[in-house]
Amino acid sequence: LSQLIGAGMLAAGVMALATPVQAADYTLKFGHLANDQNIWNKAAMHFKEAVEKNSDGRIEVQVYPNEQLGNEMDMINSIQLGTADMTITGESLQNWAPKAAMMAVPYAFEDSKQLEKAVDGDIGSEIEAQITERTGLVPLTWFERGPRELTSNREIKTPDDLDGLRLRVPNVPLFVDTWQALGARPTPMAFSEVFTSLQQGTIDAQENPLSLIESASLSEVQKYVNMTDHVRSWIYVVIGKRKLDSMPDDLQKVVRDAAGDMQSYERELFAQDQKRLEQALKDKGMTFVEVDKKAFAEKAMPAIKKALNPEQTELLERIEKL
Ligand code: 2Q2
């Protein structure tokens, strides 16, 4: 019997080899900074499945988590050069498109509803148009993020506690200005370098939504989650305009529809995650610290307003009225 099974398996193997492998007409290289357990990666894998199925294999999607294809800034450059095609990016785009800063102005959004009104309304359209015009990237869809919190190895309750704290921020000039005004020593750095830098002590702290704090295992190198809630933001999944335009209309539609599906899928995962994350981080030994949020907002606000240029200020005033 075992010989028969062996022969059958061998035959199946030969047949599999003999079946010609149809190479895809288009390959989308999709790199991002989160790890494979993070909901962004689960959403990206969901997108991959939908695109490959609905294009009958004419499009292949290769997903690279963990900055394997390059850090966030590199990814933007690579997509512009055509050596990569898709990524997940947000306020870092302000380095090209100033309006993208509005995605993450500290203390700008009070809740998810106000944020959704901004992204799905005229404000979002204007931001997306400027991103495409200045960077050649097309936002396909967006994900809401949890509020950004400050992690550290000493408790931070008031801005005075920040004195001299060496804090990693992403490559976002507005975040540098904000944390400098608050009294910390912010330094921009790629996400993939954060864990090692905290471990080696070249930085003391970092700030991110709980989701990335968990998936990057920052609980191993940080003791406190100081609940600053200082930024509510969204993030875009983008694709290179030239790549998208190079595809026939039916395949562009496959990509856009799959992006819509990915958004609904990610939204469910996000809601589940938000319920789970605080306890999960406590279970990993992190202590959550109540923060005098008002003191933070009041101290940061003048610097934030000063950092905004006239077109950004105009958008912020419209956000405040939503
Ligand atoms: O801290 C980070 O690196 C991430 O949360 C994001 O990359 C950050 O929000 C921005 O760089 C998004 O453009």
Tokens of 285: 């030994």
Maximal CA-CA distance, the chain = 80
Structure confidence by residue, pLDDT tens digits, 170-184 = 999 999 999 999 999
pLDDT of 322 strictly over 90: yes
91 Cβ inside 6 Å of ligand 1:
yes
The DSSP string of 242-273 is: HHHHHS-HHHHHHHHHHHHHHHHHHHHHHHHH
Tokens of 50: 């939908």
Structure confidence by residue, pLDDT tens digits, 64-102 = 999 999 999 999 999 999 999 999 999 999 999 999 999
Residue ID of nearest Cα to ligand 1 atom 5? 208
92 CA → ligand 1 middle, Å: 7
Q: What confidence score (pLDDT) does residue 10 get?
A: 52
pLDDT of 22 strictly over 80: no
Confirm if 225 and 213 have CB atoms less than 8 A apart: yes
54 CA → ligand 1 middle, Å: 31
Ligand 1 pocket test, candidate residues 94, 208, 238, most atoms within 8 A of CB: 208
Q: What confidence score (pLDDT) does residue 67 get?
A: 98
Secondary structure element (H or E) that encloses residue 235, with its range: strand 234-240
85 Cβ inside 6 Å of ligand 1:
no
212 Cβ inside 6 Å of ligand 1:
yes
pLDDT of 297 strictly over 60: yes
Confirm if 167 and 186 have CB atoms less than 8 A apart: yes
170 Cβ inside 6 Å of ligand 1:
yes
pLDDT band at 21 (very low <50, low <70, confident <90, very high): low
